[in-house]
Amino acid sequence: MVELALFIIFAIAAIFGAISMVWARNPVYSAMGLMLTMFSIAIFYVSNGAHFIAAVQVIIYAGAVMTLFLFVIMLIGVDKAETRTENLPLQRPAALALMVLFGAGVLIAGRSAWVTGITPAGSVPVDGSIEQIGTKLFNEWLLPFEVTALLLIIAAAGAIALAFFRDEEAQR
């Protein structure tokens, strides 16, 4: 019963946040809407038993990523009025038609069972304790874990390189 109430409240909050993100004219409001959606998704993680993932969601997405977004919004200016004219003539109708088609496709795909192999164990909540995740992560998934470390190093180096080369060209 609690889960049903939580689901209804935060599903409405998540959809409202997502729509206001797409709709808002000011990028800061977009960021706020996205933040609301991310918090709601963190609540859903908790009610699915994934407590560690919920904490990571709040810290990384709602915390770090959205702060980065807000920094960049402030950096490139928020007071510019964004014109809503569309240069491509058929873009908006085509986009809406594609959205409807995609939604219908997802609904149709969701009606059939795609899971094979493992038999569904009912809706038994996984105990998403850090111990369980860590055991899996550092035994079976060690190589992908190490590769993500490499990926993060490359991303950081790439961001620094993007900042540096721009300055060198400006001096020439």
Partner 1 sequence: MTVTPGWYMALAAVLFVIGVGGMLLRRNALVMFMSVELMLNAVNLTFVAAGRELGVVEGQLAVLFVMVVAAAEVVVGLAIIVAVFRRRKTASVDELSGLKG
Under 8 Å between Cβ of 158 and 82: no
Supply 136's token pair: 């899996």
Q: Counting contacts by CB under 8 A, is residue 122 touching partner 1?
A: yes
Q: What is the residue whose two structure tokens read 């809406």?
A: 96
Shortest distance in whole angstroms from residue 24 CB to partner 1: 8
* From candidates 90, 139, 143, 148, binder to partner 1 by CB under 8 A: 148
Q: Counting contacts by CB under 8 A, is residue 108 touching partner 1?
A: no
Count of residues that bind partner 1 according to CB under 8 A: 79
Alpha-carbon distance values, 167 to 100, 162, 164 (Å): 45, 9, 5
* From candidates 9, 74, 137, 142, binder to partner 1 by CB under 8 A: 137
Q: Containing H/E element for 72? A: helix 66-75
- Rounded to whole angstroms, the Cα distance separating 136 from 52 reads 14
Shortest distance in whole angstroms from residue 117 CB to partner 1: 9
- Map the footprint of partner 1 across residues 10-39, applying CB under 8 A: 11, 14-15, 18-19, 21-22, 27, 30-31, 34, 37-38
Shortest distance in whole angstroms from residue 69 CB to partner 1: 7
Shortest distance in whole angstroms from residue 46 CB to partner 1: 10
* CB proximity list for 169: less than 8 A, separation 6 or greater: none
- Map the footprint of partner 1 across residues 40-99, applying CB under 8 A: 41, 44-45, 47-50, 52-53, 56-57, 60-61, 64-65, 68-69, 72-73, 75-76, 82, 86-87, 91-92, 94-96, 98-99
Shortest distance in whole angstroms from residue 141 CB to partner 1: 6
- Rounded to whole angstroms, the Cα distance separating 17 from 19 reads 6
Q: Cα Rg for the chain, rounded, in angstroms?
A: 21
